Amino acid sequence: MRRAALAACALVLVRAIAAHGAGAISVNGQGVPFHWASSPILYSPDRGRLGALDNAAATAFVASTFGIWQAVPSASIRFASAGPLPVDVKASNYDDFLGRCDGLSPIIFDDEGSITDDLLGAGARNVILGFSSPECGDPNSAVITESIAVCGDFTGTTMTRSCSSSRAPARPRSAPAGTWPTRLR
C-alpha cells in the first residue's frame, strides 16, 4: 500500500513536465507546446515533514522519484535540487511561494492537508494526493522557467480517508487578482 501511495505522489511530482504521449500540457498563442529549455530542471524541496516521512526521507523520496524519470532510456530530462526552501511551508505561509516568479520551483510537503483544502476546497485533502503545474515562463517562446508541486500526506491517515470518503471537495477558491502576473495557462 505504501509503495502504491509513493508511486502516486511520484506521478504528481513530474506533472510539470510536458507529457508527449498525450500531447502538451498547454501551448502558446502560436501553438508551440510549453517546455523546459534548461537542464537540469532545478527544484527546491520543503523543509517540513510529509506524513510518516521526516524531511530527510521526504527529500530523498523526491530525489529518487526524479531519478526514475531520468533513467527512462528515451528521456533527455534531468533534475537537480537547488537546495531546500528557506522554511517549512504551511497554510500560513504558502502564499510566499505560490504564484511568485522568484527563481524557485518549490516542492511543498502539505503534511496536514491544509494547503490542499485552502486551494481546492474543504475536504480536498481526502481525495487529492497532490498537484503540480508550470507556474512561470515566457509565453512568446513557450519556455517554462518555474513550476510548483504540492504533495499531500499519502503515507498515513489522509490516504486511508481518501479511499473511504464519499464527499467531493468543495468549490476551489479563486486566485487573488494580480498574483499570477506571468502564470502559464
pLDDT tens readout for residues 110-149 = 988 999 999 999 999 888 888 999 999 999 999 999 999 9
Average pLDDT over residues 22-31: 83
81: amino acid identity, one letter: S
Task: Measure the CA–CA gap between 39 and 19, rounded to whole angstroms.
Answer: 17
What is the end-to-end Cα distance of the chain in Å, rounded?
35
Contact 161/11 with Cβ under 8 angstroms? no
15 vs 169, more confident: 15
Query: 95 — alpha (psi -120 to 50), left (phi > 0) or beta?
Result: alpha
Model confidence at 105: pLDDT above 60: yes
Count other Cβ atoms within 10 Å, centred on residue 170: 12
Grid cell of 108 as nine digits: 511543498
Q: What is the pLDDT, as a whole number, of residue 3? A: 52
Q: What tens digit of pLDDT does each residue of 30-79 get? A: 999 999 998 999 999 999 999 889 999 999 999 999 999 899 999 888 99
> Which of the four pLDDT bands, split at 50, 70 and 90, describes residue 24?
confident
| pLDDT, position 22 | 63
